Amino acid sequence: MMNEMNELNESNEMTNKGANHMKKMKQLLKNQKGMTLIELLAVIVILAIVAAIAVPAIGNIIENSRYNAVKADATNVISGAQLYFTDNPDVTDTTVTVQKLMDEKYLESHGQIDLTATITKESPHKLTDTVTFSGSKTITFTNATITGINEDTQKGSDATLSAITK
């Protein structure tokens, strides 16, 4: 019986210690109100640094996408001209305009390529045009072929003037 009493007392002491420990934890949590001003300023500084790094990178991605879109438009125009010359082998003109390709339904959209741009009949077909994209940046296609356009490695964010000549 004495052993049982000792065990009960020890159990009560453990319960009391646990209850006291819980009270102390609750008190500590209750005293903690939130972030200090310095912690808040540190978070703001970190966010500003991340934004300063990310914004220019995103801008370059957008410029490169616009440049690549113009190159894709040029490739589509040349492909449309290839279909036109294949369907009309007896045509005597040595060039065709983008406007003619649109009128005869060889192109659904010319994109940013000018309607007066010309494509040669000789194979490989060559495009000549100057396109302004992204405000003031330009790409000049001088006798540009699909291969030359696809091999171009310049990025739209690199320069204000690009020339594709092969």
**What average pLDDT does range 75-86 have in this prediction?**
96
Residue 13: its pLDDT value, please? 58
Residue linked to tokens 């894709």? 72
* Cβ-contact 121, 93 below 8 angstroms: yes
In whole angstroms, how far apart are CA 146 and each of 8, 22, 107, 114, 162?
90, 75, 16, 17, 16
The mean pLDDT value for 133-160 works out to 86
Q: Does residue 77 surpass a pLDDT of 60?
A: yes
In this predicted model, what pLDDT tens digit does every residue of 7-46 receive, in sequence order?
Answer: 555 555 556 666 677 777 777 666 666 778 898 999 999 9
- Note the pTM of the prediction, 2 decimals: 0.70
- % of the chain at pLDDT higher than 90: 55
Mean confidence (pLDDT) of the chain? 85
pLDDT digits (tens, 9 = 90+) for 100-110: 999 999 999 99
The pLDDT value recorded for residue 81 is 96
Domain limits of the chain? 40-164
**Rounded to whole angstroms, how far apart are CA atoms 122 and 94?**
7
Taking the chain, what is the end-to-end CA distance rounded to the nearest angstrom? Answer: 104
Stretch 71-87: mean pLDDT, rounded?
95
Q: Does residue 128 or residue 10 have the better pLDDT?
A: 128
pLDDT, greater one: 28 or 136: 136
pLDDT of residue 71 exceeding 80:
yes
pLDDT reported for residue 88? 93
pLDDT at 7: 57
DSSP per-residue letters across 25-46: HHHHHHH--S--HHHHHHHHHH
